[in-house]
């Protein structure tokens, strides 16, 4: 699935237009990037967590020449799948797609409390 297909799936699942779904997805991605740029993490319960990890400096080899090179330390983006996502991927659980919001129904009126029976 590419981004355009994801936008279409969001639009179909939520009742939003494709333009609104595109804006919502871009806002979500932007918020995740912004938080990770600050070194923070984003946890989506049941889906997974996005976080920033550190990779230390190390030595490597140029595969073409065999020469030893130094590789600088850097930050890396990490994603850890949540329990629900793991269950869906392993076929243990069915994927629950986004559902259209149902119109709210009026709450039923409460019945009057029953009077206690009198003892004789």
The per-residue pLDDT for 107 is 52
Kindly give, in sequence order, each residue whose CB lies less than 8 Å from that of residue 115, ignoring residues fewer than 6 positions away: none
| 28 phi/psi in degrees, rounded to 5 | -65, -50
Tell me the sheet residues that pair with 50.
Answer: 42, 79
Query: pLDDT at position 92, please?
Result: 87
pLDDT 10s per residue in the chain (120 long)? Answer: 999 999 999 999 999 999 999 999 999 999 999 999 999 999 999 899 999 999 999 999 999 999 999 999 999 999 999 999 999 999 988 877 555 444 445 555 555 556 655 655
Domain ranges of the chain: 1-38, 50-93
Nearest alpha-carbon partner for 82 in 53, 44, 40? 44
Distance between CA atoms of residues 83 and 43, nearest Å: 12
The pLDDT assigned to 103 comes to: 47
- 38-52 confidence digits (pLDDT tens): 999 999 998 999 999
Place of tokens 């912004």: 34
**Eight-state DSSP code of residue 27:** H
Fold category of 50-93 in CATH: HU Protein; Chain A (4.10.520)
Supply the pTM of this predicted model. Answer: 0.68
pLDDT of residue 105: 52
- The helix (H) or strand (E) run that includes residue 30 is helix 18-37
Instruction: Please write the tens of the pLDDT for every residue from 99-112.
Output: 544 444 555 555 55
SS3 assignment for 35-104:
HHHCCCCEEECCCEEEEEEEECCEEEECCCCCCEEEECCEEEEEEEECHHHHHHHCCCCCCCCCCCCCCC
């Amino acid at each position: 699935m590419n981004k355009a297909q994801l936008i279409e799936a969001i639009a179909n699942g939520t009742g939003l237009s494709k333009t609104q779904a595109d804006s919502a997805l871009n806002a979500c991605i932007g918020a995740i990037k912004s938080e990770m740029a600050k070194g923070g993490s984003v946890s989506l319960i049941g889906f997974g967590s996005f976080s920033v990890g550190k990779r230390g400096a190390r030595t490597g080899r140029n595969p073409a020449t065999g020469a030893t090179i130094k590789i600088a330390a850097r930050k890396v983006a990490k994603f850890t799948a949540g329990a629900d996502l793991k269950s869906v991927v392993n076929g243990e659980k069915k994927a629950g797609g986004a559902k259209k919001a149902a119109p709210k129904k009026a709450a039923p009126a409460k019945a009057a409390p029953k009077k206690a029976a009198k003892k004789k």
